[in-house]
Structure 1
Amino acid sequence: MFDPPAPDALSPTGAARLVRRTLGRAARPLLHRALLRGLRPARLPHDPPLERRPCRHGRLKALRLHGARGQRLAAWLALPQGADPAAQVPAVLALHGWGANASTLWPVVDTLLSSGLAVLLLDAGNHGDSDAEAFNSLPRFAQDLATGLDALRAEPAVDARRIALLGHSVGAAATLLHAARHGDVAAVVSLSAFAHPREMMERWLRAHHLPRRGLGTTILEHVQAVIGTRFDDIAPLNLVPALRCPLLLVHGAHDTTVPLADAHRLHAACPGSALLVVDGTHDLRAALAPHAPRILQFLGRHLGTAAA
């Protein structure tokens, strides 16, 4: 029986090396498969399908987009009533969170349409009606978002210079990743964003009663190797100082998935950003309605609509 040194005797890097040696080459593929299973998002169906839902202030059409990884992405474009291609309206691309789908952001559609904004809802890979893939990650959410942006800019009725992003949880982190790296959107509305993916993974380790040192360190290193980037390089906390567009952070006061402190940290790291704390949890669908005028005012001011 292997008896490891006391935890305090190991650095995180040393612990990772130790566990890798302990697991052995044969066990690493087992760990990889176990992680893929454990981190795989639930496939939430659209019930009812979006095409069957009433769209009071616009018209909805389904799209099938070709993603950056060769996968098919499901998307839905809603245009305001009477949208004239010659006039070109501003738009919002809305991206859901982990284990959700475009339906979870459906409540914002009519509100945005009524303000003259087009809306693109998107199922990220492995979610909703989009194709299944081996794994998901924050960078892949951002890739799928970029595919949706390309589709929006190709729509004749949409003004490609006036597009904002709205995302929830990991979808919000993806909007911040894209906006910080590309600087090609007019504004970002972030709902329930986390500050750092490492902290989210550490919460996942605790929830599954896995030690932070040793095996936990190896898991964190392995996840970063699989997604192809370091957590520090995609952390919203490290990205928001580079934003060149306005940012509205919206967070639930009773969020137990991502603590409210994360929103305050992001707000402090991004001078000029706005923070709206609402009476809600991580799922903000019910909590957003009373604050719709504030969100519409933010979007209207930066997209040039009547809501401003």
Structure 2
Amino acid sequence: MKIYPRRSTLLRLGGLFCVVSVLCLSVWMLFQTTQAKASVSQKEKPVCVSGFASDHDLAHQFDYDTKAPMQMKEVRVTRQGSVSIHDITYVSQGEVVSAYLVMPAGKGPFAGVLFLHWLDSSATANRSEFLEEAVTLAQKGTVSLLPQGKYPWIEAPKDSTHDCAATIRQTIVFRRGLDLLRSQPLVDQQRIALVGHDYGAMYASIIAGIDPHLKAVVLMALTYRFSNWNVPYFLDTLSPRERLAYLEKTASLDPLNFVGHIAPTPLLFQCARQDAYISLADVNNLVEVTNQPYTLHLYTADHSLTDGTSQKDRLAWLSTQLGLQ
């Protein structure tokens, strides 16, 4: 068939228009997909609210999907007498968390304790710190969970943006641990306590301040702001102005905001007179914003609180609060 020049030109222009249209549509769709992914990523990335935010907004920084599968897996089981120590993992927002689940013999119902460990250079600065106490409590009818912390134990503080996200993520890891403990069929959900030491106590103060269902809380050797430790021990090269900016940007995470909301749950503070990391003024700053009922014990000990007396007091106090024999 013969094609006249004008028709041929029109056909070529029409074909070119179609090609350009397809290319434009492809670019637009790629842009929209990229924007959508960026939007989702931005929504999923935890961000600190203002330090002057309402109590409601402070608490909701730590929201998470409570219905997400726990995906608990057992790695191995060891025994100490009648007590079984389960080396397990569970999942929090895609992160695999190692933990010890310490179980007594018997049919229950049992009390429960979530133990959050300290940060130090010693061999006990991990999930094993409270293992001996968990075994002792198991012999009295208690199930304990001892999860391994990541931030700042393994992942160090870097800057305010990173540290806000990491602190929120770590808090959720421990809240998921509390969910796991509550999900155990032999655990009495009305008798669950929370114990934390050092950074573990700072996370415990947040959790206890936003979770009204705990039976008892023990906070050991903690300071009232994350910046009190993050800056001098990890970010000591910051200028005075940068230090102030860091404090302001991370203020919404500080225990100072949450310890006042632990009441009416009974609370035990355990602090050391010879603590190189916490002054008595720091202790007073926490106590001043804490509501009754609470008990404060000061020990002739250092930051580790390995004097023996503090452990004895802690176990006795938990036994009373949880109704253990």
Q: Given the two structures, how large is their TM-score scaled by the length of structure 1?
A: 0.68
> Which of 310, 314, 321 is the matching residue for 1:291?
310
Is 1:149 paired with 2:170?
no
CA contact (8 A) 2:77 2:85 kept: no
The amino acid of 1:167's aligned partner reads G
How much identity, in percent, do the aligned residues show? Answer: 25
What is the Cα deviation at residue 263 of structure 1? 2.3
> SS of the residue aligned with 1:162?
strand
Counterpart in the other structure of 2:302: 281
CA contact (8 A) 1:263 1:275 kept: no
- CA RMSD of the aligned region, Å? 2.9
Is 1:121 paired with 2:146?
yes
> Which of 266, 277, 292 is the matching residue for 1:246?
266
Give the unaligned 5+ runs of structure 2: 1-74, 156-161
Distance 2:134 2:266 in 1: 21
- Say if 1:75 and 1:258 are closer, same or farther in 2 by CA, change over 3 A: same
> Which of 179, 189, 201 is the matching residue for 1:172?
201
CA contact (8 A) 1:95 1:171 kept: yes
Give the unaligned 5+ runs of structure 1: 1-49, 225-229
The amino acid of 1:272's aligned partner reads P
Q: Which moved more, 1:234-243 or 1:260-269?
A: 260-269
What is the Cα deviation at residue 172 of structure 1? 0.6
- Could you say which structure has the larger radius of gyration? 2
1:86-235 alignment runs, 5 A limit: 87-98=108-119, 100-125=125-150, 137-204=166-233, 208=236, 210-213=238-241, 215-220=242-247, 224=249, 230-231=250-251, 233-235=252-254
- Say if 1:129 and 1:56 are closer, same or farther in 2 by CA, change over 3 A: farther
Counterpart in the other structure of 1:83: 106
Q: Given the two structures, how large is their TM-score scaled by the length of structure 2?
A: 0.65
Counterpart in the other structure of 1:263: 283
> SS of the residue aligned with 1:185?
coil
Q: Which moved more, 1:147-156 or 1:107-116?
A: 107-116
What is the Cα deviation at residue 189 of structure 1? 0.6
What is the Cα deviation at residue 257 of structure 1? 1.6
The amino acid of 2:88's aligned partner reads L
What is the Cα deviation at residue 97 of structure 1? 2.6
Is 1:236 paired with 2:255?
yes
Counterpart in the other structure of 2:3: none
> SS of the residue aligned with 2:88?
strand
Distance 1:77 1:291 in 2: 23
> SS of the residue aligned with 1:276?
strand
Counterpart in the other structure of 1:65: 90
Q: Deviations over 1:227-254 (max 9, x none)?
A: xxx41x2222221111131110111211
- Say if 1:51 and 1:265 are closer, same or farther in 2 by CA, change over 3 A: farther
